[in-house]
Structure 1
Amino acid sequence: MVKREGMENLLLRYYEGDTTEDETILVEEWLEASEENSRIARQVQTIGLAVDMAQISSRLDVKKALEDVHRKMERKKVNRYQVLFRGMQRAAAILFIPLVISWSILYWSRDGQEIQMMEVRTNPGMTTSVELPDGTEVVLNSSSLLRYPSQFADDKREVKLVGEAFFSVAKDEKKFIVGTLNKSKIVVHGTKFNIEAYKESKKVQTTLVSGKVSFSYVNNGGRNDVMMQPGQKVVYDIVQEKVVVEKANVDVETSWKDGYLIFRNTPFEEILKSLSKRYNVEFILKKASLKQSSFTATFTKQRLERILEHFRISSNIHFRFVEDGDVNAERQVIEVY
């Protein structure tokens, strides 16, 4: 039996095509040993495109790259997992942390010039960080998507976000614009702020840590702008097309990016939503009265079971992991009562 650390190293070499015949057999037997192993393998496959894309030429010859891969496949038989990785400059695969950062390149013409776009996605329950071409740092939360160009235009820096992210925007004369749901957008020059814009929530929430931003949103067919000050939070209701500006607890709103969960008199439903994002689980609240409860707590990097135990001991709240026999289910269901 290969130890965990040994399997990690073995898989790194396996996906780069550097394993011996015996090692290849060992890895493939592990992949076939369980559905969980196969699920992890499918996730790891997509990481093959995350090969220092930011350093690849903006004139990447995709056709030639594909031809090179096809030639290698014809010269030597390779298995279905290795095909995606051969011919790549470098591939980094972390097996036991099922994080997938998928990068894609899209091309279209604008004024006769070819434009390259990058796309980063995070798996449920995972976070990652990205540095944009201008030096802006972005931390992406669970189940989020960020799309941006490999080089910004001369007049503005613009990205698209679905999900949640924390931005530390590099100072520049060019405006930095984050477009998100329902044509809403945040316009900044140099600042730090958090945006939460998941499709299922039907809301866009922006918390400003420092600097100034303008929140622009659609209302009755027109466009309105709200200037924000540090420590403020804007909540945009997409359905009603209304905006509420309120004082924010910055530490609570942004703690996720540092691996913490901070709650300050936070409604229990909101706590469950945060835990759902962090641990990729689905909570079913069976006791309606719990919706009225609020809690204050700080969790660092505890396992979910430890956190749930905290609520059980302190507040007599019980949790039951639902087993439905579906090994392909993407999320664990937990009943709360």
Structure 2
Amino acid sequence: MGRKKNLLKKFLKGTVSDEEAKKVEMWLDSATQGNNPWENLSEDKKAAFLTDLKSRINTAKLPGKKNTGRSTSWVWLAAASVIILLMIPVYVLWMKPSAEINTKVVIEKVAETNMAQIKQLQLSDGSKVWLNAKSRLRYTDSFGSHSRDVYLDGQAYFEISRDTKRPFVVHTSSWQVTVLGTHFDVSDYMEDNDVTVSVLSGKVAVQSTRQQKTPAAILHPGEQLEYDKRSHELNSEVFAHDQQPSWIRKEVVFYHTKMEDIAGYIKRNYGLAVSFANPSLSETEVSGNFGKIEDAKELLEILCLTINAEYKANGKKILITEMH
């Protein structure tokens, strides 16, 4: 390929021998046979291409060459043909209408929250989303045009505008939750062992991202599905669904929540790293409505009293041990 290019350059400069010129002519002849992209261009595009090409050749300073009997027009046509061979892929792409070229750039939008922060946003389809602390929601700028897909890391409460033609789909690391129009809560923090989906109104279909062949679980109002990442166990429960999740009101409410997951809650909302002296403490479950608690010390004291434990603080590190 490199030898051909060099020979074509020599031809355009007029420095080829008669034998080399014949080789170029043979290439030009063969280019007119078979599948030539030039033939796929419309007459208007061909005319525009040749007009631009002729302008380039006329303004170029090509060195003179010995008279080989070829007319100036032949030199121009040969040069045009050679350049077509070299440049046609670029020109075909360049002269394509923008509609024929997929130049659409997908822009990702991201909403996220910091420690102890709750954020509310409204999507272009009218759906409302509340993001809990240290959560992240991703979606594209084309959201709602053909599909309604969002990607969640953390916890969010959704109030979805009904659209039977475009289901609303929430993707997490563990689940894919599909709805038409409903109110529901999804919690799937990377650091938490438990993943939950709770439905307040409407109906949702929950599908495991790891076991696509497993039938989707259908949840109705007042039903909650909980998934254990370690044991891969699924449990369904019934809960009171008369209002929005308590965390939106910044109330501390736990329902059969393991202390290891409560440690994640404390990290996200108070910035403290909680560890356990005994692994059995991390598996202990806590239930209760503790109201609004602004001070981490108050929450730690209540929790330790509940599970018969005590804690020691070292800066932002908390160690929970059994009561002696």
Q: TM-score range by the shorter chain?
A: 0.5 to 0.7
From 200, 208, 211, the counterpart of 2:199: 208
1:180 paired to 2:172: yes
Cα gap change, 1:335/1:165 in structure 2, threshold over 3 Å: closer, same or farther?
Answer: same
Deviations 1:311-331, CA, capped at 9 Å, x for gaps: 4667764222113xxxxxxxx
Equivalent residues of 2:192, 2:264 under 8 A apart? no
RMSD: 3.2
| 2:246 aligned with 1:255 | yes
**Could you tell me which amino acid in structure 2 is paired with residue 144 of structure 1?**
S
Separation of aligned partners in 2, 1:169 and 1:302: 31
- TM-score of the two chains, using structure 1 as the length reference: 0.56
Counterpart pick for 1:150 among 141, 165, 171? 141
> Which digits, 9 at most, give the CA deviation of each residue in 1:221-243, with x for residues without a partner?
63531111111112234566554
Q: Distance in 1 between matches of 2:232 and 2:280?
A: 30
Does 2:311 align with 1:319? yes
Matched residue SS, 2:181:
coil
Asked whether the equivalents of residues 162 and 181 of structure 2 are also in contact (C-alpha less than 8 Å), the reply is yes
Question: What does the per-residue CA deviation read over 1:60-112, in whole Å, with 9 as the maximum and x for residues that have no partner?
Answer: xxxxxxxxxxxxxxxxxxxxxxxxxxxxxxxxxxxxxxxxxxxxxxxxxx954
Task: Give the match for residue 61 of structure 2.
Answer: none
Unaligned runs of 5+ in 1: 1-109, 324-331
Q: Does 1:113 align with 2:97?
A: no
Q: Give the drift of 1:270.
A: 4.3
How many positions carry a matched residue from both structures? 220
Distance 1:286 1:201 in 2: 19
Q: Residues 311, 203 of structure 1: CA spacing in aligned structure 2 closer, same or farther, 3 A cutoff?
A: closer
Q: In the superposition, relative to structure 1, how do residues 222 and 113 fare at CA in structure 2: closer, same or farther (>3 Å)?
A: same
Partner AA of 1:160 in structure 2: Y
CA distance in 2, matches of 1:114, 1:306: 50
SS of corresponding position for 1:234 = strand
Note the C-alpha offset of 1:297.
Answer: 3.6
* 1:298 equivalenced with 2:290 (yes/no): yes
**Alignment of structure 1 residues 188-227 onto 2, 5 Å:** 188-201=179-192, 203-218=194-209, 220=211, 222-227=213-218
Instruction: Tell me which amino acid in the other structure corresponds to 2:288.
Output: T
Offset at 1:273? 3.7
The one-letter amino acid of 1:133's match is S
Matches within 5 A, 1:87-126: 111-126=102-117
Amino acid at match of 1:279: Y
Give the unaligned 5+ runs of structure 2.
1-100
Aligned partner of 1:335 in structure 2 is 319
From the CA coordinates, give the structure whose radius of gyration is larger: 2
Identity %: 24
Distance in 1 between residues matched to 2:212 and 2:202, nearest whole Å: 29
Separation in 2 of the partners of 1:254 and 1:289?
29
Following the alignment from structure 2 to structure 1, what is the Cα–Cα distance between the partners of residues 303 and 172? Answer: 35
**Residue type matched to 2:294 in 1?**
Q
Instruction: Please give the TM-score of this superposition, normalised by the length of structure 2.
Output: 0.58
Change (3 A) 1:255 1:239: same
Instruction: Go from structure 1 to structure 2 and tell me whether the alpha carbon gap of 1:313 and 1:203 turns closer, same or farther (over 3 Å shift).
Output: closer
Q: Are the aligned partners of 2:168 and 2:179 in contact in 1 as well (CA < 8 Å)?
A: yes
